[in-house]
Amino acid sequence: MGRPYWSGSIQISLVSFAVKFFVATEYKSDIRFHQISRSTGERVRHQKVLQSALDESPNEGAEAVATVGKDDIVKGYEYAKGQYAIIEPEEIANLRVPSKHVISIEQFVSESEIDPAYFEKPYFVTPDGDNQTEAFAVVRRGLKEAKKVGIGKIAFSGREHVVAISANKDDDKPGLMAYTLRYQEELRSPAEYFSDIRHVEIDEDQLDLAEQLIKKKTAKFDPKRYQDGYEIALRELVDAKVHNLPVPQDEPQPKRAKVVNLMDALRSSLQAQASTRDEDVTKKASKSEKKADAVKPGPTLVKSAAKKAGAKLPVEKPAAQRRKSA
């Protein structure tokens, strides 16, 4: 477990308990690029330089430019042309923002009330010490039973965020989840983009076929099914470059087909889906039959199993005795 991204308290009315936030996502790409000079093949570096050095020697080499060390850089607010108010890091750290330390839950809502467009980034929330676990567990169970999400505010990374606190769904991993939310003004108005979509009358037969298609393709969401195809293609490109192999090329996309009858397209989609389902059923049945044949007990296996169970097997008579008895 890494270091917590944020430590503080969650407060609900008079109930308060200390928690730790951990970033729930990570960047998984294995591909890292640097900027390279095409003419020399050297890596291009970025430097922080003084504006005055650039003004005094704009046409001279990089050696004439004065670089600035990281510790010498502070923030500045330009209140007039070329005039800056200098802000020291410790002054920002000491800003009076209560939500830097405490998330005060202002209300509870149903999760379905929050438009997915508002969700920004997830965090894992854990109690900050064993003595905080009781209050943490009670609030988590309360949120889960009520199917509600707590809404408050939290300050980190140079701004104050709206945050939603919910119970983790898995009781075997009894934690809380936190999601930072976007502000209303950060979302563009959908009317600006959707207002030009012309109104059409929905044909009931077409709608019925569409609903059937949706129903047939409905399945439980499994995130493991999905991989980053761009990352895979990028890896293939890099491998080809490193090993001097032909560079894979994107296949030309077919020209857009003529508009077909929507009813025909829906029917064809349903037939293709049914065909795929039948093939899957056949494959599963074939596998089951092969598995059953592989474990089908023969006479020796039956006798062995009966012997282990203590059962008496009938004594097989010689063929001559069997004919005489008959």
Within this chain, do residues 264 and 149 fall inside the same structural domain, yes or no? no
pLDDT beyond 80 at 170: yes
Within this chain, do residues 211 and 156 fall inside the same structural domain, yes or no? no
pLDDT beyond 60 at 311: no
pLDDT beyond 70 at 324: no
- C-beta of residue 299 within 8 angstroms of C-beta of residue 316: no
Residues in the chain: 326
Confidence of residue 323 (pLDDT cuts 50, 70, 90): very low
Single residue among 134, 159, 186 that ends a domain in this structure = 186
Within this chain, do residues 139 and 208 fall inside the same structural domain, yes or no? no
Number of H helices, E strands in the chain: 9, 10
Confidence of residue 300 (pLDDT cuts 50, 70, 90): very low
Residue 67 lies in a domain: no
Q: CA geometry: angle at 30 spanning 29 and 31, to 5°?
A: 90
Domain range for 280 is 203-251+258-288
For 173-187, write each residue's pLDDT tens digit: 899 999 999 999 999
Residue 317 lies in a domain: no
pLDDT value for 250: 81
Within this chain, do residues 130 and 227 fall inside the same structural domain, yes or no? no
pLDDT value for 142: 95
- Give strand ranges (E) for 3-74: 6-12, 15-23
Report the candidate in 110, 109, 93, 90 with the shortest Cα–Cα distance to residue 101: 93
Within this chain, do residues 282 and 144 fall inside the same structural domain, yes or no? no
Residue 59 lies in a domain: no
Within this chain, do residues 18 and 104 fall inside the same structural domain, yes or no? yes
- Average of per-residue pLDDT across 251-255: 75
User: Between residues 220 and 273, which one has the greater pLDDT?
Assistant: 220
Residue 124 lies in a domain: yes
Residue 73 lies in a domain: no
The amino acid sitting at 79 is Y
Residue 234 lies in a domain: yes
Within this chain, do residues 181 and 219 fall inside the same structural domain, yes or no? no
Within this chain, do residues 164 and 232 fall inside the same structural domain, yes or no? no
pLDDT value for 64: 55
State whether residue 125 is helix, strand or coil.
strand
> What CATH number is given to the structural domain containing 136?
2.40.290.10
Q: If 0-12 CB within 10 Å is exposed, 13-18 middle and 19+ buried, where does residue 28 land?
A: exposed
Residues sharing a CB contact under 8 Å with residue 176, sequence separation 6 or more, in sequence order: 19, 124, 125, 126, 136, 139, 140, 143, 165, 166, 167, 168
Least confident of 174-183, 185-194, 214-223, 289-298: 289-298
- C-beta of residue 131 within 8 angstroms of C-beta of residue 165: no
Largest CA distance in the chain: 124
pLDDT beyond 70 at 140: yes
Confidence of residue 144 (pLDDT cuts 50, 70, 90): very high
Give the Å distances, CA to CA, from 138 to 107, 109, 142, 175, 232.
17, 18, 6, 11, 44
Within this chain, do residues 134 and 222 fall inside the same structural domain, yes or no? no
- C-beta of residue 23 within 8 angstroms of C-beta of residue 123: yes
For 78-109, write each residue's pLDDT tens digit: 888 888 888 888 888 888 899 999 999 999 99
Residue 60 lies in a domain: no
State whether residue 245 is helix, strand or coil.
coil
Residue 271's CB is within 10 A of a number of other CB atoms, namely: 10
CA pair distance 151, 181, nearest whole angstrom: 10
Within this chain, do residues 214 and 266 fall inside the same structural domain, yes or no? yes
Residue 297 lies in a domain: no
- Average of per-residue pLDDT across 69-82: 85
- C-beta of residue 125 within 8 angstroms of C-beta of residue 139: no
pLDDT value for 5: 92
Within this chain, do residues 141 and 274 fall inside the same structural domain, yes or no? no
pLDDT value for 117: 94
pLDDT value for 152: 96
CA pair distance 281, 27, nearest whole angstrom: 38
- C-beta of residue 162 within 8 angstroms of C-beta of residue 151: yes
For 57-67, write each residue's pLDDT tens digit: 666 555 556 77
pLDDT value for 286: 66
For 13-27, write each residue's pLDDT tens digit: 888 999 999 999 887
CA pair distance 228, 29, nearest whole angstrom: 9
Report the candidate in 209, 207, 213 with the shortest Cα–Cα distance to residue 276: 213
Within this chain, do residues 146 and 208 fall inside the same structural domain, yes or no? no
CA pair distance 296, 284, nearest whole angstrom: 18
pLDDT value for 302: 41
Question: What's the total number of domains in the chain?
Answer: 2
Confidence of residue 172 (pLDDT cuts 50, 70, 90): confident
Does the CA dihedral 149-153-157-159 come out positive or negative? positive
Residue 33's CB is within 10 A of a number of other CB atoms, namely: 7
